[in-house]
Amino acid sequence: MAEYSAFSLLANALKGNKDWKPAWRKPDPKASYDVIIIGGGGHGLATAYYLAKEHGITNVAVLEKGWLGSGNVGRNTTAVRSNYLLPANTRFYEHSMKLWEGLSHELNYNVMFSQRGCLNLAHTPAQFDDYARRGNAMRHLGVDAELMTPAQIKRLIPALDISDSARFPVIGGLMQRRAGTARHDAVAWGYARGADRRGVDIIENCEVTGFLRDGDRVTGVSTSRGDIRAKKVAVAVAGSTGRVMQLAGIETMPIESHVLQAFVTESLKPFIDTVVTFGMGHFYMSQSDKGGLVYGGDIDGYNSYAQRGNLPIVDEVMSEMLALFPGLARVRMLRSWGGVCDMSMDGSPIITTGPLPGMYLNCGWCYGGFKATPASGWTFAWTIAKDEPHDFNAPFTLDRFYRGLVIDDKGQGANPRLH
């Protein structure tokens, strides 16, 4: 197994980089496992890693329909933050942030976690007050947050239009300095290697086509590579949750699948060294280590499994970018892509036992799943190992919708396209 160190980098460099070993095996599926995890994305791989590392459960298979990391973990815009208002969210995402801070070291894999900060811009006094409230709520729970004035913001991001003649003048912002970005593919690869070296089988090109049942209890899955039995079956399939749950006979879920588009420009010289979000629409942007500006905005707003979007949102996102950064008008867009998000009814995730006996469900990440990857895997592994939630994910049950305990950070109600 390839270990990374200053010595191994140097030794392999001198030998022409011909001796690197694959980072994970390509095993054939066994007849049965203690735990099967459906979905080889960030959350599924992190779950397998923490199952093995924290709970000693190593007879585990991760089943991936395509190749590893071909879904949302490779399609997101890499931002990581924990600037939420409601305590359930703040605690959960701050746990994630703490795991991020040690992740490269823990995995011996450089996930290029960069705490370059995340700044939310305010354009009205009411919005600024709202950010002050959110910042106070965060600091009450030990999360860093600071309000910034337009002059401070201009020093941080010189290219930003903060003039009074801007369509939406900037009157301040809320900054989380510990937020930032991470190399999304490396997160998948690092967790995959970490899980693999602890004995987890990562099985690619293995599509789940149905569930094996004994009465109500789920006892395994049928796949394109044969039936596989398991004591516990965990589902972490992001945008395909609706589709996979229908295979289990569950027709409806408090979830809609929507497509979110993202964009990247040609490479520029250093232009912006933080993540910035626009408060009057929905727009966020950072600069990748290669130099491209990576940005996105709203979901397209209607159900879609297409992994590609439509033009009106492209148009809208570009207009919002130019409202903030008029100087980018002639920069070329290199490419755009779409990922399928399972938008939940309150904008918060679901990490829970059930809904069937023997089954465990991790879904409803809306378009914020990447930042949650470490904590999602950590709490989901806990839930699978102990058949009960950790305090961090206890509020994120499936039945919260029916018990009046929704976690609606944006206050948008049961309307997925607005979260």
Partner 1 sequence: MLITCPYCGPRDVIEFTYQGDGNRERPDPASQNFEAWNAYVYDRLNPAGDHNEIWQHSGGCRAHLRVVRNTLTHEILSVAFVRGDHAPATRRKAEDKA
- What phi-psi label fits residue 239: left (phi over 0), alpha (psi between -120 and 50 degrees) or beta? alpha
Distance in angstroms (rounded) separating the CA atoms of residues 74 and 186: 9
Joined tokens for residue 405: 């305990």
Which residue in the block uniquely carries the two structure tokens 């709203």? Answer: 298
Distance in angstroms (rounded) separating the CA atoms of residues 92 and 159: 34
Distance of alpha carbon 294 from its chain centroid, rounded?
A: 15
CB 411, min distance to partner 1, A = 16
Of 312 and 326, the one with the shorter C-beta distance to partner 1 is 312
Of 95 and 419, the one with the shorter C-beta distance to partner 1 is 419
Distance in angstroms (rounded) separating the CA atoms of residues 410 and 136: 16
**Strands 275-278, 350-353: pairing kind:** unpaired
Of 169 and 301, the one with the shorter C-beta distance to partner 1 is 301
The residues that touch partner 1, with contacts defined as CB under 8 A, are: 240, 242-243, 246, 251-257, 301-306, 310, 312, 345, 401-402, 414-417
Of 75 and 81, the one with the shorter C-beta distance to partner 1 is 75
Helix or strand run (H / E) with residue 259:
strand 255-267
Joined tokens for residue 266: 């040609």
- What phi-psi label fits residue 326: left (phi over 0), alpha (psi between -120 and 50 degrees) or beta? alpha
Joined tokens for residue 235: 């589902």
Of 161 and 256, the one with the shorter C-beta distance to partner 1 is 256
Distance in angstroms (rounded) separating the CA atoms of residues 213 and 266: 51
Of 102 and 413, the one with the shorter C-beta distance to partner 1 is 413
Of 290 and 403, the one with the shorter C-beta distance to partner 1 is 403
CB 283, min distance to partner 1, A = 18
CB 257, min distance to partner 1, A = 6
CB 296, min distance to partner 1, A = 19
CB 211, min distance to partner 1, A = 17
Distance in angstroms (rounded) separating the CA atoms of residues 176 and 174: 7
Contacts of 85 by beta carbon, 8 Å cutoff, 6+ apart? 133, 134, 137, 409
Distance of alpha carbon 411 from its chain centroid, rounded?
A: 21
CB 114, min distance to partner 1, A = 35
Name the β-bridge partners of 344: 255
Q: Cβ distance 207 to 224 under 8 Å? A: yes
Of 171 and 414, the one with the shorter C-beta distance to partner 1 is 414
Residue 250, number of CB atoms within 10 A of its CB? 17
CB 310, min distance to partner 1, A = 5
Q: Cβ distance 309 to 261 under 8 Å? A: yes
CB 347, min distance to partner 1, A = 13
CB 343, min distance to partner 1, A = 10
Of 90 and 344, the one with the shorter C-beta distance to partner 1 is 344
